[in-house]
Amino acid sequence: MSDPELREIVVSTYRDVLQVSHLGPDDDFFAEGGDSVKGVALLDRLHERTGVRLPISVLFMKRTAGEIADELAASLAR
C-alpha cells in the first residue's frame, strides 16, 4: 500500500466516522468532533481496511489523518 493510498484511506475513514465531508490530511480528529468512542471506531475501521491495529494512545499523540497515515505506513514497513 502506498503512502498516498494510506492517506486517502485514513482521510476517508475520518470523514465516515466523524460524518463530515470537508476533512483533509491536516485536520485534527478531536477538533473536528472526535472523542474516545469515535476514536475506537476509527481505529477499528482502519484495522479492517489496512490490517494494522493501532493502539488508542496513538490517536491522542498523532491526531491528524496525515500523522495516522504515517504511523500506519511505519507499522506496515516493520
Q: Delimit the domains of the chain by residue range.
A: 3-77
State in words which class domain 3-77 has.
mainly alpha
Round to whole Å and give the CA distance between 37 and 59: 12
Q: What are phi and psi of 28, to 5 degrees?
A: -80, 130
Task: Tell the residue number behind the cell numbers 476533512, with chain if given.
Answer: 23
Q: Is the pTM of this model over 0.85?
A: yes
pLDDT averaged over 10-residue windows placed end to end, the chain, 78 residues: 89 97 94 96 97 95 95 90
For the beta carbon of residue 71, count every other beta carbon within 10 angstroms: 19
